[in-house]
Structures are given as C-alpha cells and as structure tokens.
Structure 1
Amino acid sequence: MKNIFFIALFLLSMQIKAVTTYFYYVPFYDLESKPYIETYFSVVGSSVNYKLVNNTYSGCVEITMLFKQDGVIKQFQKFNVSSPIITDTTKKLDFLFVHRFAIEPGIYNLEIVIRDTLDKTKNGENRFFDVINVLNFPSEITFSGIELLEKIDPTTNENMLSKNGYDLKPYISDFYPASISKLMAYTEIYNSEIIGKNDDVLIKYFISKVTKDEPFDNFQMTKKSKTAAIVPVVASFDISQLPSGNYNLVIQMISKENKILAKQKVFFQRSNPAADKKWDEIAKVDLNGS
C-alpha cells in the first residue's frame, strides 16, 4: 500500500512540474486555394518557471511541431513563446500564441513537444499526439473548420490575432461554464461563386442538441450575405439561458431557393445550473397543463 501511495505522489509531482498548455487547431484555405493550419496555444503562466532580468520576471516555452508520414518528418515547426513581463511572481499571467503555416495535403501523424526553456530536465515537457487529414481544395462549396472565440474586436493594428479585419481571440476549450454568457465563433466558406458571383445567399447558424440536427428552442439566427472567393462568417449567441448539456453549433449557407449549399458544425458542452432550474420549471408547467 505504501508503494502505491508513493507512485501516486510521484506522478502528481511530475504533472505539477510540467508546462500546462491548452491546444487546438483549425484548417483553412488561402486565396490561392492552398491549405494551411491555424494553431492555438494557451499556456498557464503558473506552470512556467520565470527568471529575473532588470527587476522584472519573464518565462518562455519552446514549442516543436512534427508532421510525420510513415515515420518520416515531412514538416517541422519550432518557435519560442515568451510570457508577459511581470514584476510580481505571485501574479503570473496565462499567455496565448497563434501560429499559421501552409502544409501540403495528406494524412499526418502530428507530435507536439512543449518545453519550459528554464527547466533543463524533462519534467517541464509536455507531448501531444494526433492524426490530422489535410484535404485538397474541394470542387464544391465547403467550410473551413470552426474557431471558437473568447473575444472579437475590429483590427486597429495588425497582430497575430488579426484576420479579415477582425482581431479574433480564440477560446481554447469546448467547455462553457455558467460564468461565460456568450458563445462566439469564426469560420470561412469557400467556392460559393460556383453558383454565381456576388449572388445573394443566407447564412444560418443555430445551436442544436448533439442528438438532433435542428435548432434548440430559439437559439438560431439568419443573416444575408453574398457569394465570394472566401466568405468570412462570425456567429454569436447569448447563452446565459442555455441549459446544461452537449450541443453542436451548426452553420449553414443557404441559396435563394432555400437549399442548403454547405454546412459545418462544432461540438461544445455547457454547464449552467441556474438555467437548468428554469427549464425544469417550464417542463413541470407543460406536464401539469397537458
């Protein structure tokens, strides 16, 4: 029993020393119809070592991305991400990094290594593995992936968050606690000009239960748009009254003839106990009235 307890403590200490990082990625295409990957990293500042330089403190993580096919490295990305500079190490801030890069179509084994540059042991290292399928530019109307957002502002000065006139701060999670009252997302639609240039279309987006492909309650919106080489779409919902559950955010492009031309969806999970009580009360009223 003592040995088991010792092993548990050892594993916990390893987790505490490792850099805590949240990561996800979204595939896009550029104006030349070439694929690229947009990656999002959020580093928990308290999990990083800091050094003192000129009466201020800063930390740094090294991120290495390896794209392999049959064990052969086909693409390699390596960069350092610095923390915000602080004067008090009891107030370490989380920091964000967005990185975009072109990649050839194909199926890749992705390996990401995230290392604290001030930790010379491997205790400060985290590894992430995934398989990604980068597709050729399609011949039909299609969507990019969907980027969930924490914040969106008009761009005043170009920076790593800037895209199509907006600064898009990613929300690097698919879990929405009760403290978050807004769901925002960004996506792009390609090839819509195959039905005609500058044609009228509708963009419809809604929240659905994962078990259904229809809007949940009144969580749906529609707005007018035009066909173009790339149609950027920003979707936003007030989810303060959305009850707990597993959902999809669904986005569609619809023709003048009310035909769905293309659609995309992304999963998210909601926890909202206050709204759950309200919906339970509504359900009781419906049952009593039936």
Structure 2
Amino acid sequence: MRRYINTLIFILFSISAWTQNLQVNINYLLFSIPNDTNYIEFQCLTLGNSIRYTPVDEQSYQGNININISFTPLDSSKPLISNKYSIQTNKYADTITSTKENIYNVIRIPIPNGQYGLHVNIKDVASSENTALEFNETIFMDYAKGNMDISDIQLISNLSILDEMDDFSKHNIDFIPYFSNFYPENISNLTFLSEIYNTD
C-alpha cells in the first residue's frame, strides 16, 4: 500500500558550539503521467543560515550543496537509478548567515513501477566536516496503467494561480509546499493538492 504523505526532515545536530550544520527539509511524493511515465518528486528546502559560504570572487560569497539520489531495485534484474544534483545559492557580499535566504528546489525523477531502496545523500561542499546528511527508505511505485488511481497528497503552505506554467508549478498553480506533518492551532484551513488518474 502506498503511503500518501511522506515528509522527511534531515537535521544534522550540532556536535559543538562552533559547528555550523546543514539543515534540509525534504518532501518526496509519488505521481504519474498516464500513458507516459511515473515519477517521484523531491521538494527540497535548504535553510540559508545553515550553509557555509565561500569566496567566489573579490566581492562575493556563495554556498554549494550536492545532492545524490539513488534507487536500488529490489528486483535485481532492473538497473540502478542514480542522479546527482548541484545547488548554488545567490551571491552575497558577506558570510553573515542570518541574512541568507532559504533555497527551494524541485527534483522530479522518472522511475518505473517496482519496489526500490531509496538512498539520499546531501553534502555542503564547503563544509570541513566529513559527515553528510543521509537517508534510506523503501518505496513502492505501483501505478497500474489504465487503472483509476490517486497520487500522493501534496500539502500546501500557500498558492497562487499562474497564466503560464514554470518548473515549480503544477496545473497552472504556483505553490509553496508545507514542510511539516504538524499543524498548530492557529492554522484553521488545510490546503492540499492531489491528482486522480484514468477516470475516463
């Protein structure tokens, strides 16, 4: 049975008062494009004040994050799926972390139906520590071609309607994901998106 909400929070806790540690919140959700492919979508929110910034020229500093995502099929006859991504921050005039913006990225990876061992590795390129953020999970992609089905549920923090699509939008809806599975008392409305397939 597919899990409808998957919220992963990667936090590397400080090992000393002097260590700055990368913090990344990730949602991963399973979707389908009927008569085409299935895909997993990773929504990554990197906290700007947790990144190390290094000089890129005489007047600016920049941070770099590497993300490695791999899917190992439990069926050994299927090939390994492995993807590497590099995320760069904006350039800044200093390294004062409190002034740095958070970074939001979307990664969509096509994968066939099947059961996989998911492995995610996230590393701050400029970090002097050898440790990286690691996560392992078993996922099951099981959208049957032609059958009515429903996607994972996308929790939404806020949204707006667009005239044109871009890489961060869906169905002409621009939204910021809700990166938590907890709702405090001051939130009275729940906004979410889900896709229903093959209803014809």
TM-score range, shorter chain: 0.7 to 0.9
Which residue does 1:13 correspond to in 2? 15
2:21, 2:168 → 1: CA distance?
A: 27
Instruction: Say whether 1:107 aligns with 2:115.
Output: yes
2:75, 2:136 → 1: CA distance?
A: 13
Instruction: Say whether 1:171 aligns with 2:174.
Output: no
Relative to structure 2, which stretch is displaced further, 23-32 or 178-187?
Answer: 178-187
- C-alpha offsets along residues 59-102 of structure 1, whole Å, 9 cap, x if unaligned? 11100001113597610111011223333523122111111121
- C-alpha offsets along residues 25-72 of structure 1, whole Å, 9 cap, x if unaligned? 111111424211111111111111012335233211100001113597
Q: How does 1:255-270 map to 2 (within 5 A)?
A: none
- How many pairs are equivalent? 182
2:34, 2:73 → 1: CA distance?
A: 27
- Does the C-alpha gap of structure 1 residues 52 and 179 become closer, same or farther in structure 2, counting only changes over 3 Å? farther
Which residue does 1:277 correspond to in 2? none
Which residue does 2:169 correspond to in 1? 162
1:175, 1:23 → 2: CA distance?
A: 15
Question: Which of 31, 47, 51 lines up with 1:48 in the alignment?
Answer: 51
Residue aligned with 1:122, SS: coil
The answer on whether the counterparts of 2:40 and 2:111 sit within 8 Å (CA) in structure 1 is: yes
1:30, 1:74 → 2: CA distance?
A: 22
Residue aligned with 1:177, SS: coil
Which residue does 1:214 correspond to in 2? none
Instruction: Say whether 1:22 aligns with 2:30.
Output: no
- Does the C-alpha gap of structure 1 residues 157 and 51 become closer, same or farther in structure 2, counting only changes over 3 Å? farther
- Does the C-alpha gap of structure 1 residues 122 and 142 become closer, same or farther in structure 2, counting only changes over 3 Å? same
2:185, 2:53 → 1: CA distance?
A: 33
CA RMSD of aligned residues (A): 2.5
2:161, 2:100 → 1: CA distance?
A: 28
Which residue does 2:158 correspond to in 1? 151
Q: Normalised by the size of structure 2, how large is the TM-score?
A: 0.80
Which residue does 2:61 correspond to in 1? 57
- Which one has the bigger helix percentage? 1
1:141, 1:20 → 2: CA distance?
A: 38
Which residue does 1:211 correspond to in 2? none
| Relative contact order higher in (CA < 8 Å, ≥ 6 apart) | 2
Note the C-alpha offset of 1:137.
2.3
The answer on whether the counterparts of 1:35 and 1:137 sit within 8 Å (CA) in structure 2 is: no
Q: Normalised by the size of structure 1, how large is the TM-score?
A: 0.57
- Does the C-alpha gap of structure 1 residues 164 and 131 become closer, same or farther in structure 2, counting only changes over 3 Å? same
2:163, 2:34 → 1: CA distance?
A: 23
Residue aligned with 1:46, SS: helix
2:149, 2:65 → 1: CA distance?
A: 36
